[in-house]
Amino acid sequence: MLIFTRKVDDKIMIGDNIEICFLTNKNGQVKVGINAPKDVPVHRYEVYEKIKGKRKNN
């Protein structure tokens, strides 16, 4: 795992076409923006796990 320390409005690039932007940090919560191509699925982990579980059962 790669761990970053970033400030609000800082960005991280994944490859050439996925941008992670740190929007706010208030009361222990961090808001993150993700810009990715439409063909790249982006899900919260719990949603991803549900999708993955459904695929296993089918």
Interval 2-54: pLDDT, tens: 898 899 999 999 999 999 999 998 888 989 999 999 999 999 999 999 999 98
The residue among 47, 52, 7, 51 whose CA lies nearest residue 25 is: 7
Give CA–CA dist 35/5, Å, rounded.
19
| 11-14 sheet: strands from edge to edge | 11-14, 18-26, 29-35
pLDDT at site 58: 54
Other Cβ atoms less than 10 A from the Cβ of 28: the count is 5
| pTM as predicted | 0.76
pLDDT at 4: 86
